Amino acid sequence: MTLERLIPLAFVGIWSTGFIAARLVAPWTDPLTFLSYRFLLSALVFILIAQAVGASWPRGRAAWARALVVGILLQSLYLGGVFWAVNRGLPAGVAALVVGLQPLATTIFASSMLDERPDTRQWLGVLIGFIGTLLVLLPGLETDFGEIDPLPLVAVLIAMLSITLGTIWQKRTGPGADLRTNAAIQFIGAFVVTLPLALATENMRFESNWQAWTGLLWSVFGLSVGAISLLLVMIRRGSVSSVASLFYLVPPVVALLSWLLFDETLGPLQVGGMLLAACGVGLAGRQTSSRR
């Protein structure tokens, strides 16, 4: 198997562990506080990496502003919105379903905002992937939608749109940027936005135990350094629609990990959804977008 094919698999595998890490730390820390620590440490790690290899930093305010905007969209608004919404009582299954619309939204926006035109096979893959994701999430959607607080629902919808626009903006503005310094600036932007929100709305609770520290360190080195680096590489090399379709594989992998680690139920409907999601991603990623 070539490195080119290993990168998407590694990304999905690492990214999926983020939901397990969030579950591990949830009882011990406030969500925005946790993200503030994560973003700060991630920025410091990328700064050290950039200094060690002599990576070039962007020149001019415009280049810095573009990277900061991507960080705010991809990290602060996306992760912050999802964490905040679930913490405010939005069922995790509903949050996952809304976030699951991201590949579809990315494909739609990419048609008008980028020089990409998804073909019929790619559209079919995106739709099949969404149906598969829906089947995986269906057992967790047993809730009265009329009783859901609209504010957390709006927050997770904003989060979904943020990662969609952040992916597209990264594709438009980051082709020539060094990925290490670009990532450092992105996490600086995420930290600068998230910290004041945490200070204003939370008690900055972070209990010092192995669960909180394990979750934090994995979130920094595994997710921020590992998964985000792979995501930026894939955005640079491929169409954003193909990259976004990989997120359809995240709920199946999370369901599988939850079954293995937490003895959660994994029924035939979910297994069928996993296979369908995999087929959809395969179709969406098999052929890149044609150029206008």
14 falls within a domain: no
Count, residues in the chain: 292
Q: Which residue has the tokens 């990409």?
A: 116
Number of domains the chain is built from: 1
pLDDT band at 29 (very low <50, low <70, confident <90, very high): very high
* Nearest residue to 179 (alpha-carbon basis) of 31, 95, 292, 71: 71
Within a domain: 8: no
Q: What is the pLDDT of residue 245?
A: 82
Q: Is residue 39 part of a domain?
A: yes
Q: Are the beta carbons of 76 and 193 closer than 8 angstroms? A: yes
Helix, strand, or coil (residue 223): helix
Does some domain include residue 101? Answer: yes
Cβ(257)–Cβ(16) below 8 Å: yes
> Which candidate, 3, 5, 22, 25, places its Cα nearest to that of 257?
22
Across 248-252, average pLDDT: 81
Domain assignment of residue 61, given as a range: 19-286
Alpha-carbon torsion angle 122, 126, 128, 130, nearest 10: 180
Q: Which two tokens stand for residue 9?
A: 């698999």
Query: What is the rounded average pLDDT of the residues 223-252?
Result: 83
Tokens of residue 263, six digits = 């003895």
Between the CA atoms of 105, 108, 109 and 113, what dihedral angle is there, to the nearest 10 degrees?
Answer: 160
Cβ-contact 46, 180 below 8 angstroms: yes
The pLDDT value recorded for residue 142 is 62
What are phi and psi for residue 206, nearest 5 degrees? -145, 100
Rounded distance between C-alpha atoms, residue 253 and residue 262, angstroms: 13
Give SS3 for 163: helix
Cα-flanking dihedrals φ and ψ of residue 29, to 5°?
Answer: -155, 150
Query: Which two tokens mark 130?
Result: 């969404």
The residues with which 206 forms a beta bridge, in sequence order, are 29
Axis crossing angle, helix 61-71 with helix 179-201, rounded to the nearest 10: 60
Residue 141 domain flag: yes
Q: What is the pLDDT of residues 76-106, one digit of tens each?
A: 999 998 888 877 777 776 777 788 888 888 8
- Res. 129 pLDDT band, cuts 50 70 90: confident
Is residue 3 predicted with pLDDT exceeding 70? no
Residue-wise pLDDT for 132-152, tens only, equals 888 887 776 665 555 667 888
Q: What is the mean pLDDT of residues 64-74?
A: 92
Please indicate, yes or no, if residue 221 is contained in any of the structural domains.
Answer: yes
For the chain, give the mean pLDDT.
84
Q: Say how far apart CA 93 and CA 87 lie, in whole Å.
A: 13
At 289, the pLDDT band (50, 70, 90 cuts) reads very low
Q: What is the mean pLDDT of residues 52-80?
A: 91
Using 50, 70 and 90 to split pLDDT, how confident is the model at 288? very low
Residue range 189-205: mean pLDDT, rounded: 94
Q: Does residue 54 form part of some domain?
A: yes
- Asked whether residue 268 is domain-assigned, the answer is yes
Percent over 90 (pLDDT), the chain:
32
